[in-house]
Structure 1
C-alpha cells in the first residue's frame, strides 16, 4: 500500500512542485487547506484553521510522513509588529498543533520534515561560508528560524526522525523569486540593489524537491541540512545575468540603500544583505545538484 505524505503549505510554489514529484514516486498525498477542495485519486484534502487551533485529526493519524512547508511570506509586507508575529506563528503554530495530536494519540511517523531557511544565519554580508554548525543570528530572521526549528525539534522528542531543510532563494520558471523580479528586467529596467555585494544563496525548485524526497527515503538523514548552491552569486552578478538574458546591459545606476530602506523599512535587510552557505553536508549524504550554474539555471527558468 502506498505511503501517505501530509503537506502543510501544499498549495504554494514549493508544495505544488513537491506534490507532483511525490506522486510520480508512488506516494499518496494529503494537503491541509483552509478552504473546501475536491479530493482526487492521489490527493486528499483536510481542513485546518490556525486561528481556531484546528486540524482535522485524520490528516495526522493517516499520515506516514509529514512535510511542513507553511509560512507567511517574508518579503510580502512591511515588518510591523503584527506582521512579525504572523510570520513566526505561521511557521511554529502548525508544528505545535501537530505535536499535540501526535502525542495525544500516541501516533508515530516514519519522518517529520520541516522547511527552515538560511535566514537562521542572519541578514549580514560577510566572507564567511555558513555551515549547519554556524550559530543562529540574533536578528529577526535568525530568531524566527531558530524558534521554527525548535518547534520541529519537539517532534523529535517523540522518537520521530526529524529533518530540517534550510532553504535559500528558490528559482523556478515564472514562479517564486523570479516572478517578483523579472518583470522589471524584462521591461529593460533591471537594476542592482544597494551595493550589489550581498550574496544570494539559491537552489532550483527541482533540486529542492529532490532533497525533500531524499529526506523521506533516506533513513540516515536527521537534523539540519542547508539546501543551497555554494557559489559566489551576488545580487550584482545575478542582475547582470538577467539583463544579459533579456538582451541588454544594465544601464540604470544601483538603487541606493537609503531608498530601499525608506521603501521597505526593517524588511530591507532581507534584500540588502546575504551570506554564502555551505552545501557540503547534503552532498556528503549523497545528494547531487542538477542545477549548479546560475547563468544556465536562469536561462532555463526564463525560456
Structure 2
C-alpha cells in the first residue's frame, strides 16, 4: 500500500511516517522545500507550492489513500494576515489536491484528514462526543468548520473520508509541551486562569497510531483524537512539575496578562474542552498512553 502524506515533515507527520514504515506502508509526501525531497523506495518526496497552485501530480502515482495533515501552525501570534494563512493553508490545499485528482483522473479510495477539537465550544461541564452540533464562536471554531467542509470535497471524488479532531498533542521536541515545561524548569510554573479548564491531550505516538489505524481500517466520519482521560490545566501543570521535581510556588497566571503577551492566540491556554475518545475505542483502538502521568514520564524523563 502507498499513502500520500501532506505535512509529513511536521511533528505529527514524522511519527506517522515512522509507523507507516513499521507497518510496511510506502509513503509519498508533498513538500514546499526542494531540499527535503527524498527518493527512497518507501519514502518519495514531491514538490508543491500551494500558494501558486503548483503541484507535481506524480505524487498520486500508485497511491490509494491520503493522510492530510497540512496547515500553518496555530502556535504563532494571530495577526490578521496570519489568521488568513491558518485558514487558507487548510482549505486551499484541500482544493488543490482535489482539483489535481480530478484533472488527472486518479482514484483515491480513502482520505484521513486532521481536524481539531477547537470546533467544540469552551465549557467546564460539557463532555463532547463527535455528534455534538454546537460550534465554537471562536476563530478556531470557524477554521475547523471551513477545514472540514473543504476536506468533505474528497467525497465528491468517490473517496471515503475520516476526520480526526486533534486535541493538545504532547511530544518531546515540539508542540505545546516544551513551552508548558519551560517555566516549570526555572521554578516559575503556574496554571493559567482558574486552572479548571479542561485539556484534552494525546501523546504524539498514540495520535500517529490512531491515524494509521483509521487508514488500515478504512474508517469514515469524525473521530476525536484525544486520550481517554482529559485533565484540568492545573492537573497538567502539577503533574509536569512533580515529574520534573520542581515546586509550583507562583499564583495562577491571569488571562489579561496572557492576552497582552500573546494577543488573540491566548485563548489556546484558556479554552476548556472535555472531549470523549469512546468512539475510536469502540472501533478497537487501544491507547498506549491512556493516562497523563505515564505519557509525561515517557516524554520528560
Q: TM-score, normalised by structure 1?
A: 0.95
Please state if 1:71 is matched with 2:71.
yes
Q: Tell me the CA shift for residue 76 of structure 1.
A: 1.6
Q: SS at 1:255's partner residue?
A: coil
Query: 2:239 is matched with which residue?
Result: 241
Q: SS at 2:106's partner residue?
A: coil
Query: 1:167 is matched with which residue?
Result: 166
Distance (Å, rounded) in 2 between the aligned partners of 1:187 and 1:226: 34
Q: SS at 1:130's partner residue?
A: coil
Summarize the alignment of residues 257-276 of structure 1 with structure 2, pairs less than 5 Å apart.
257-276=255-274
Query: 2:226 is matched with which residue?
Result: 228
Query: 2:82 is matched with which residue?
Result: 83
Query: 1:42 is matched with which residue?
Result: 42
Q: Is the 8 A contact 1:6 1:65 kept in 2?
A: yes
Q: Tell me the CA shift for residue 138 of structure 1.
A: 2.5
Please state if 1:206 is matched with 2:205.
yes
Query: 1:176 is matched with which residue?
Result: 175
- After superposition, the CA RMSD in angstroms is 1.3
Q: Is the 8 A contact 1:60 1:101 kept in 2?
A: no
Distance (Å, rounded) in 1 between the aligned partners of 2:69 and 2:278: 23
Distance (Å, rounded) in 2 between the aligned partners of 1:253 and 1:9: 38
Q: Tell me the CA shift for residue 84 of structure 1.
A: 0.8
Q: Tell me the CA shift for residue 174 of structure 1.
A: 2.9
Q: Is the 8 A contact 1:195 1:257 kept in 2?
A: no
Query: 1:283 is matched with which residue?
Result: 281
Q: Is the 8 A contact 1:60 1:98 kept in 2?
A: no
Q: SS at 1:243's partner residue?
A: helix
Q: Tell me the CA shift for residue 194 of structure 1.
A: 1.3
Q: Is the 8 A contact 1:190 1:239 kept in 2?
A: yes
Q: Is the 8 A contact 2:68 2:113 kept in 1?
A: yes
Distance (Å, rounded) in 2 between the aligned partners of 1:147 and 1:8: 18
Q: Tell me the CA shift for residue 39 of structure 1.
A: 2.0
Q: TM-score, normalised by structure 2?
A: 0.95
Distance (Å, rounded) in 2 between the aligned partners of 1:90 and 1:83: 10
Distance (Å, rounded) in 1 between the aligned partners of 2:5 and 2:179: 25
Q: Is the 8 A contact 2:8 2:17 kept in 1?
A: yes
Distance (Å, rounded) in 1 between the aligned partners of 2:233 and 2:246: 17
Distance (Å, rounded) in 1 between the aligned partners of 2:230 and 2:13: 28
Q: Tell me the CA shift for residue 184 of structure 1.
A: 1.6
Distance (Å, rounded) in 2 between the aligned partners of 1:270 and 1:68: 23
Q: Tell me the CA shift for residue 232 of structure 1.
A: 4.1
**Cα distance per residue 1:74-111 (max 9 Å; x no partner):** 1222x221111100011111110111111222221131
Check 1:232–1:25 CA distance in 2 against 1; reply closer, same or farther (3 A cut): closer
Greater CA drift, 11-20 or 28-37: 28-37
1:125 aligned residue (123, 126, 130):
123
Distance (Å, rounded) in 2 between the aligned partners of 1:63 and 1:91: 21
Q: Is the 8 A contact 2:230 2:275 kept in 1?
A: no
Q: Is the 8 A contact 1:174 1:302 kept in 2?
A: no
